[in-house]
Structure 1
Amino acid sequence: MPAQIWKLAIRRTLTPHLMAGYTSFLLTLSFYIFYYHFMIKLVGIGEAPKAIGVTPLTLRRRDESGRLKPDMITKGGKRRYDLARLQPELYRKADAVSRKTVAYARVASHDQKLDLEHQAQVLQAYCPAQGWSNEIITDLGSGMNYRKKGLKRLLDDIVEDRVGRLVITHKDRLLHFGSELVFAICEVRGVEVVILNRGEDTIFEEDLAKDVLEIITVFSARLYGARSRKNARMIEDIRAAAEREDAS
C-alpha cells in the first residue's frame, strides 16, 4: 500500500510541483510525510504476527527470506508493518456501496462564511439528486494548511475505508497545493471523486491572496526581528566601545 501511494505521488504530484516551484514541492512532500506517519496504521513486531496468526520468529524469517518484507524500518532497526496489508479483509470489508458519500466544503476565513454556506447548499442539493445519502464536512482554514480538522477527519475516513465517494465543488477546496495527492490516495483506496465545477474557482484568487499575505507577514516578522536583534547588538557594541574609550 505505501509503495502504491508513493508511486502515484511521484507521478502525479511531486514531479509537477518540482517543475512548478520548490515551495510547492516542499508543501506536497510535507503532506505526504504527514500522511505516511499519521494516517497509515503501522504496527511493530509484537502486534503484526498476531494479525496473520504466526509467531514473531516466523515473521522475522519471512522478512529474511523476502516473503514478507516490512513496510518501514525505523532508525533503530525496528520493523513496522501496515495492518491494511496484513489484514485486508478487515480494512476493506466495506464495499463501495456500503461506504458513505462525503461532501467537503472549505473557505479560508470567517468573513467567507456566506461562501461556505453556499458550497454546503450546493453539495446538499446535488448529492440527494443523484440518490446519494451523504455526510458533509465543512472546514475553515487556508488552502495551504495541511492540518485542518476537517481535512484530517476526511483523510482518516478515507484511509479507514469508510468513504466510497468524495464530492467537492472545486478541486482547490481541498488544498491549493497537494490536491492531486489526495486524489491519488482516493484512487488507491477505491474512492470515487466527484468535482462539480472543473472550471476556475471564483474565490480561489481571494484565498490565494490571503495565503500569500500570510506568508509575507511571517517572513517579514522574522526579518524585522532579525534586524532588531542585529541593531541591538550594534548599539551594545558602540556603547561598549565608548565606555572603553572613556576608561582609557
Structure 2
Amino acid sequence: MVSIGEAAKHFGVAQSTLRRWDEDGTLVAKRTENGHRRYDLSEIRPHSLNTPPKLDRKTIAYARVSSRDQKDDLLRQSQVLELYCARQGWTFETITDLGSGMNYKKKGLKNLLDDILSNKVERLVITHKDRLLRFG
C-alpha cells in the first residue's frame, strides 16, 4: 500500500487527479484509520485508467552572457551546468545565448520558452537567476 503522493508519481498524474478519480469511482482508494488514501499498485491496471501517456520531457541547461567579450564566461557557465547535470545523472540539452538580459528576442530564449510552453521541459538549470532574464 502506498500513499497518494507515491501513487501519483507512479501514474504520472497530480494528487488532485487521484482524489477526483476516488470521488468519481474511477480508482477507489483504501482508507487508513485516519482517513488517508492508500493504493495497492499491484491491484491497479494502468490501461483501465484514462491516463495520458507520460511525456518524454527534457532537462535544459541555459547559459547566457551579455556581450561577445564575455564568451569565455559563456563557456565556463556551460561547463559548470553540464558537469552539474551529468553528476545528477540527467540527460540534458544545453542552450547558450549571447545578448542582454533585457532582450526577450534571443534565439535560444525563444526556443526555450516554446519548449516550456509545449510542456517539453521537465527542469531548467541555470547558474544564476539573472542568466535567464533581468526582469519579468
TM normalised by structure 1 equals 0.33
Q: Within 1, Cα distance between the matches of 2:97 and 2:53?
A: 29
Which deviations, in whole Å up to 9, do the C-alpha atoms of 1:160-197 show, x marking residues without a partner?
1111110000000011111xxxxxxxxxxxxxxxxxxx
Partner residue of 1:129? 87
Q: CA RMSD in A?
A: 1.6
The answer as to 2:64 corresponding to 1:106 is: yes
Tell me, yes or no, if structure 1 residue 159 matches structure 2 residue 114: no
Secondary structure of the equivalent of 1:111?
helix
**Structure 2 residue 113 is the aligned partner of structure 1 residue 150:** no
Query: How many residues are paired up?
Result: 86
Structure with a larger share of its residues in strand: 2
Task: Mark the runs of 5 or more structure 2 residues left unpaired by the alignment.
Answer: 1-49
Inter-partner Cα distance in structure 2 for 1:153 and 1:146:
11
More relative contact order, 1 or 2 (CA 8 Å, 6+ apart): 2
What amino acid does structure 2 have at the position aligned with 1:119?
Q
Which among 167, 174, 178 is matched to residue 132 of structure 2?
A: 174
Indicate the structure (1 or 2) with the bigger Cα radius of gyration: 1
Secondary structure at the counterpart of residue 96 of structure 2: strand
Percent sequence identity over aligned pairs: 67
User: SS at 1:129's partner residue?
Assistant: helix
Larger helix proportion of the pair = 1
Within-5 A mapping of 1:201-240: none
1:67-146 matches, within 5 Å, as 93-95=53-55, 98-146=56-104
Residues 161 and 118 of structure 1: is their aligned pair in 2 closer, same or farther, counting only changes over 3 Å? same
Structure 1 ranges of 4+ moved more than 6 A? none
Structure 1 stretches of 5 or more lacking a match?
1-88, 179-248
Q: Which whole-Å CA distance do the structure 2 matches of 1:159 and 1:93 have between them?
A: 18
Task: State the TM-score, normalized to the length of structure 2.
Answer: 0.60
Distance (Å, rounded) in 1 between the aligned partners of 2:74 and 2:54: 31
User: In structure 1, what residue type is equivalent to 2:68?
Assistant: H
